[in-house]
Amino acid sequence: MAAGDLVQKGISVVVGFNGITFGTWIMEDSGEAPEADITEIKGAQAAVVTKLIANPRAVYNVKGIILAADLTTARAALIGGTVSINSVSCMITSLKLTYGTEAARCEMSAVKEASMTYT
């Protein structure tokens, strides 16, 4: 075993990014969340009698260190542009570039609605 390799003992837990990847970034953090729009319908006594669930979607968040070759691409990215996260084509909803003495980092959020296809 190489120095620094993770060794897990005890209860098995998910370690790492669980397959969520983005390009050639050195990943620091990632996540995904199912979302939908929910509208409550209330009856005469103001109690909720039904709910309408629409626009199911997956929201992805990735954060990582940008390699020098990726900086130009990250700067050119636009809100509404298409990216592939975890082999899923999504629309960029937010993008933040930060620069420090150690590294340039990028944080991106993207959405994949069940009803949409991005190319």
Residue 34 belongs to some domain of the structure: yes
Residue 15 belongs to some domain of the structure: no
Mean of the per-residue pLDDT values of the chain: 90
pTM of the predicted structure, to 2 decimals: 0.80
Query: pLDDT class for 20, splitting at 50, 70, 90?
Result: confident
DSSP sequence for 80-111 = T-EEEETTEEEEEEEEEEEE-SS-EEEEEEEE
State yes or no: pLDDT of 29 exceeds 80: yes
Residue 11 belongs to some domain of the structure: no
Residue 61 belongs to some domain of the structure: yes
Residue 58 belongs to some domain of the structure: yes
Range of the domain at 85: 26-113
**Total domain count, the chain:** 1
Residue 5 has a pLDDT of: 79
Residues 48-53 have a mean pLDDT of 97
